[in-house]
Structure formats: C-alpha cells, structure tokens
C-alpha cells in the first residue's frame, strides 16, 4: 500500500520543524520527501513531481519564492499545489506568496491540530483558483 500514499516534498531547513511536520504528515498517511536546502530542492526538481510541496520561505542561501519560480518553470511541476511555510509572517506576505506561485500559506510554528487537515484540503482543492 506504500505506493498509494501521496508524496509530499517538505522543504525545511530547521531540523525540529522538519521532524514535527514529517511526524504529522506520516501520521496522516502521507509519504514525506525531506529537503533541507536549495540544492536538495533543485535535485528533487529533476525527479518525479510530488502530490504537493510544503516550501519554507526562508532557506540559507535562497528564498522560497525563487525556488517556487523555478518549480513553476518545470512542465511536470506546474500543476503541483505549493503551500508556503514561514515563521515571520508580515502584512502582505500572503498576497506576495500567492502572486509568486504558491497556492496557500501556513504560519510556523505549525498548529499540530490542524496542519494535516490544511494539507489535505489543499491536496483536494488543487492549485488556487484552479490555476494550472
Ligand atoms: Mn527556514
């Protein structure tokens, strides 16, 4: 049954955040592919597209939005829903993330009670506004 699980690319450079999100996603029945830096994300772009991407907006040496831009330039990845993750939400961030190719936004620290449900809802809905 393992191959039936939706695959989620989880981009997060903070080890504690990565562990918590991985635990919550695996508990909810997802398979998690972790990526801790921009290099690993770009390596993932050369492989098969996941069902959904969770993208930390603050990575050492790169920002999440430029990686999302690269992601959207890949034919196979264009339709993959992307949820932005950030710890330092500021006014206008949500709009900036959505305009930059993300479909949703989750603030860190993640709410353990609702995190997996937010992911499930975005998986079900697909890209925001049905945008391919
Ligand atoms: Mn980070």
Q: How far does the centroid of ligand 1 lie from the alpha carbon of residue 84, in Å?
A: 11
Q: Going along 1-132, which residue ranges are E strands?
A: 7-11, 31-35, 52-56, 58-59, 62-63, 82-86, 104-107
Q: How far does the centroid of ligand 1 lie from the alpha carbon of residue 1, in Å?
A: 32
Q: How far does the centroid of ligand 1 lie from the alpha carbon of residue 57, in Å?
A: 7
**pTM for the full model?**
0.94
Reported as a pLDDT band with limits 50, 70 and 90, residue 132 is: low
Q: How far does the centroid of ligand 1 lie from the alpha carbon of residue 58, in Å?
A: 4
Q: How far does the centroid of ligand 1 lie from the alpha carbon of residue 59, in Å?
A: 5
Ramachandran category for residue 11: left, alpha or beta (phi over 0 → left; psi -120 to 50 → alpha): beta
User: pLDDT (tens digit, 9 = 90+) per residue, 73-118?
Assistant: 999 999 999 999 998 778 888 899 999 999 999 999 999 999 999 9
């Amino acid at each position: 049954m393992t191959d039936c699980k939706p695959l989620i690319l989880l981009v997060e450079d903070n080890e504690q955040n990565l562990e918590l999100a991985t635990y919550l996603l695996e508990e909810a029945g997802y398979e998690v592919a972790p990526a801790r830096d921009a290099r690993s994300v770009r390596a993932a772009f050369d492989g098969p597209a996941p069902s959904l991407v969770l993208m930390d907006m603050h990575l050492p040496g790169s920002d999440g939005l430029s990686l999302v831009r690269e992601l959207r330039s890949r034919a196979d990845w264009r339709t993959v829903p992307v949820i932005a993750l950030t710890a330092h939400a500021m006014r206008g961030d949500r709009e900036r993330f959505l305009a930059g190719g993300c479909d949703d936004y989750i603030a860190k620290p993640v709410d353990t009670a609702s995190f997996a449900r937010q992911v499930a809802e975005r998986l079900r809905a697909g890209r925001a506004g049905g945008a391919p």
